Amino acid sequence: MQQISQADIAAMAPRYRVNFINSLSGFKSLNLVGTVNAAGQSNLAPFSSVVHLGADPALIGMVSRPDSVPRDTLNNILHTGWYSLNHVDADMLQQAHQCSARYPEQVSEFAATGLHEAYIEPCPAPLVAESPLSMLVEYKEHHRLSINNTILIVGQIHHVRLRDDVVRDSGYIDLEALGTLTCTGLDSYHRTQRISRLAYAKPDQPVREVDSSD
């Protein structure tokens, strides 16, 4: 076993620590967040912090870094009240990664990377036409962490667009069949291979598999 103490973490070079700590949470969701500003300029940014918050109402969260420097995505969400979340598959991976480059505010990442905008009423923010799964999200509330000014953005899911019919009988969406990718750290992208789906656990029953159609 390798042990890394708090003193070891404190002594890490800043860039090394960023890579190390970013790896610890485990595999991450990968979404492109589409927004638009007051002038109608579209913006597209990769986020690896999207997290489920509730099914009824259908709520989803994401973490924005502190707004001590301008954050186009956060500003646009607070101004328009809307954003889109778009899964990323292997065909659009390089374009999605390139959206993390610091383009000038007047350059749309759609134009810069060749990804295409799509629109669904009533959301003024663009979806990514190439994405296998897109959602329209309406801003609801945000929370600023006292400890480092990071911001949790909370939104309600209004509409879902899926490329293929991969919704199973139970309502489960087979994201692996859809080609959705996952990521680790700041720069690593992964496909997945299902091991199993396991039935609702009960104290007095052994673990069992779910039917593949369910």
Interaction with its own copies in 167-206: which residues (CB under 8 A)? Answer: 167-168, 170-173, 175-176, 180-182, 184-203
Residues 186, 191, 196: CA angle, nearest 5 degrees: 120
Tell me how far apart the alpha carbons of residues 39 and 148 are, in angstroms, rounded to a whole number: 31
Q: Which of residues 132-151 bind its own copies (CB under 8 A)?
A: 133, 135, 140-141, 143, 145-148, 150
| Single-letter amino acid, residue 127 | L
Tell me how far apart the alpha carbons of residues 88 and 190 are, in angstroms, rounded to a whole number: 11
Cis omega before residue 66 (within 30°)?
A: no
Nearer to its own copies by Cβ, of 38 and 207: the residue is: 207
Q: Which of residues 105-124 bind its own copies (CB under 8 A)?
A: 107, 112, 120
Query: Is there binding between residue 60 and its own copies (CB under 8 A)?
Result: yes
Query: Is there binding between residue 31 and its own copies (CB under 8 A)?
Result: yes
Query: Is there binding between residue 4 and its own copies (CB under 8 A)?
Result: yes
Q: Which stretch binds its own copies (CB under 8 A): 33-41, 58-66, 74-82?
A: 58-66
* Residues in a beta bridge with 144: 151
Give me Rg for the CA atoms of the chain: 19
Q: Which stretch binds its own copies (CB under 8 A): 36-44, 69-77, 100-108?
A: 100-108
Q: Which helix (H) or strand (E) holds 141?
A: strand 133-144
Smallest gap from residue 125 Cβ to its own copies (A): 16
